Structure 1
Amino acid sequence: MDMALHDALKALMPVNPLHFTAAAAAKVHELVSEEGEEDLKLRAYIHGGGCSGFQYGFEFDEGRNENDIAIVKDGATLLVDPLSLQYLAGAVVDYVESLTGAQFVIRNPNAKTTCGCGSSG
Structure 2
Amino acid sequence: MNTNPEISDADIRFSTSAADKVASLITEEENPNLCLRVYITGGGCSGFQYGFTFDETINDDDFVIEKSCSNARDSVRVLIDSMSYQYLQSAEIDYVEGIGGAQFVIRNPQAKTTCGCGSSFSIEE
Which interval holds the TM-score relative to the shorter structure?
Answer: 0.7 to 0.9
In the alignment, what sits opposite 2:52?
58
Is 1:80 equivalent to 2:80 in the alignment? yes
Q: Which runs of 4+ in 1 moved over 4 A?
A: none
In the alignment, what sits opposite 1:24?
18
The answer on whether the counterparts of 2:12 and 2:88 sit within 8 Å (CA) in structure 1 is yes
2:112 aligned partner, one-letter code: K
2:31 counterpart (28, 37, 40): 37
Paired residues, what number?
113
CA distance in 2, matches of 1:14, 1:63: 18
Q: Secondary structure at the residue paired with 1:106? A: strand
CA distance in 2, matches of 1:80, 1:105: 16
The two structures have a TM-score, normalised by structure 2, of: 0.83
Is 1:90 equivalent to 2:90 in the alignment? yes
Structure 2 unaligned regions, length at least 5: 69-74
Larger helix percent = 1
In the alignment, what sits opposite 1:15?
8
Larger strand percent = 2
In the alignment, what sits opposite 1:112?
112
RMSD: 1.7
The two structures have a TM-score, normalised by structure 1, of: 0.86
In the alignment, what sits opposite 2:72?
none
Offset at residue 78 of structure 1 (A): 0.8
